[in-house]
Amino acid sequence: MAKPISFFVHHQGRGHAQRTMAIVRELPASQPVSVLTADPSLFDGFERDIEIVALPNMIGAPVPTPELYDQPTPSVMHCVPLGLPAMRQTMRRILDHLDDRDTGLFVIDVSAELALLARIASVPAIKIRMHGNRGDAGHLAAYDACAGMLAPFDERLEQADYPDWARAKTFYSGGLCTSSEHRDDKVSARRALGLPLDREIVVALTGGGGAGTPYAPLTVAARAAPDTLFVTVGPLHREGHETDFANLVNHGWVSHTSDYIAAADIVLASAGDNTVHEVMRAGRPFICAPEWRYFDEQQRKAESLAAVGAAIHLPNWPGDLDGWRALLERARTLDIEHQRGLYSPEAAARAAEWLQSRVETLWRDDATGAPQPVAVAANAN
């Protein structure tokens, strides 16, 4: 019987859950799988038979006293408020589950603290890698505590400041895109969406993890390029003073963003993992406008994309007509050949195969092929 694999899935946005489902689909049907998350609804309709464990949602839980609130956060941790029953319940539920199921591998997407908890609890853990300024003590300790890291992107997008010792224990799956349905042809995509065939189209899109695409800068873009059609997909952030233009249309939430990406001449989007890999799959000039994220995750990812020539990194939205005209001209001349290979259709399967191999290797004795106990000397410390 295969050792179970358990996943912790952060419930902010949809990306963590979608990535988990893409990988779990590729695991053998005989592999026991469980998912621990504070939002089980993210897995509604998932076709694979897995166990879902609901965790308390600790976001916004009040610290009961001022003195507890004033206690400093340890340098090796990021979010560990004191006195929260919901946090104790979460940790207990996780540990009880790992113990009851005799979990062989705990895949964490994402939490540095849970990587440390897993090591203390004697459960081998795999941490999903994300971009960002993560050289702090908490992230380095989590990397050190894990039995490996899984980077769901191409190794060419790795940051130069990621430590060599951590890189050596990291598996790069290639660009993992969680959207399975897509079109390659621009004409068929435009026809399916009812968009004009003979006009330059810029698609601006954002996912569910942030505040939405800022609408005011797009109104300036529409005025700067009146012959271009700007189409927005996903949530918008409006300030209330914007002037609408006929060449700026809002489509809101849609079921297949990949159709819009295929229909575009230029894509303007944030640096969310799946969005990036959808654009790389389609091969479209990409203006990457990172949203604010903890540890500058999206800024660093946009920098990595720009460094290999796969995108234009847009740290600040243009506020004037000439700025938009210059930006659009840069995008028109972007060589999309630099995007080639940054998306991998086998990424989810490669990630699943690697996780399967890790749990088998970790629990197999080299001589007999069966788990064997190894004596461990007691540590008086």
CATH number of 186-339: 3.40.50.2000
Res. 13: pLDDT tops 80: no
| pLDDT-above-70 percentage for the chain | 95
**Cβ neighbours for 129, distance < 8 A, ≥ 6 positions apart:** 149, 150, 151, 152, 153, 170
Res. 346: pLDDT tops 90: yes
Residue 374: the pLDDT is 47
How do residues 76-93 score in pLDDT, each as one tens digit? 999 999 999 999 999 999
Question: Position 256: which residue type?
Answer: H
Residue 206: the pLDDT is 84
Q: What is the mean pLDDT of residues 42-69?
A: 94
Res. 377: pLDDT tops 90: no
Res. 367: pLDDT tops 70: no
Res. 370: pLDDT tops 70: no
How do residues 82-134 score in pLDDT, each as one tens digit? 999 999 999 999 999 999 999 999 999 999 999 999 999 999 999 999 999 99
Q: How confident is the model at residue 371 (pLDDT cuts 50, 70, 90)?
A: low
Residue 366: the pLDDT is 67
| pLDDT-above-90 percentage for the chain | 87
User: Which among 295, 317, 355 has a CA at the least distance from the CA of 132?
Assistant: 295
Of 376 and 226, the structure prediction assigns the larger pLDDT to 226
User: Hey, which bits of the chain come out as E strands?
Assistant: 5-9, 33-37, 51-54, 105-109, 125-128, 148-151, 170-172, 201-205, 213-214, 229-233, 236-237, 248-250, 266-269, 286-288, 312-313
Q: Is the dihedral of CA 225, 246, 270, 296 positive or negative?
A: positive
In angstroms, the Cα distances linking 214 to 80, 204, 211, 269, 279 are 32, 10, 8, 11, 20
Taking a C-beta distance cutoff of 8 angstroms, is the pair 280, 310 a contact? Answer: yes
d(CA 4, CA 263): 42
- Altogether, the residues listed in the chain come to a count of 381
Res. 375: pLDDT tops 70: no
Res. 35: pLDDT tops 50: yes
Q: What is the mean pLDDT of residues 246-264?
A: 94
According to CATH, where is 3.40.50.2000 located in the chain?
Answer: 5-176+345-362, 186-339
Which of 64-73, 172-181, 336-345 bottoms out in mean pLDDT, i.e. has the lowest? 172-181
Mean pLDDT of the chain, nearest integer: 93
Taking a C-beta distance cutoff of 8 angstroms, is the pair 101, 34 a contact? Answer: yes
Q: What is the mean pLDDT of residues 311-332?
A: 97
Residue 368: the pLDDT is 57
User: Terminal CA-to-CA distance of the chain, rounded, Å?
Assistant: 36
Q: Is 213 helix (H, G, I), strand (E, B) or coil?
A: strand
Q: How confident is the model at residue 292 (pLDDT cuts 50, 70, 90)?
A: very high
Q: What is the mean pLDDT of residues 148-176?
A: 98
CATH class of the domain at 5-176+345-362: alpha beta
Residue 378: the pLDDT is 45
How do residues 227-251 score in pLDDT, each as one tens digit? 999 999 999 999 989 999 999 999 9
Q: What is the mean pLDDT of residues 257-274?
A: 95
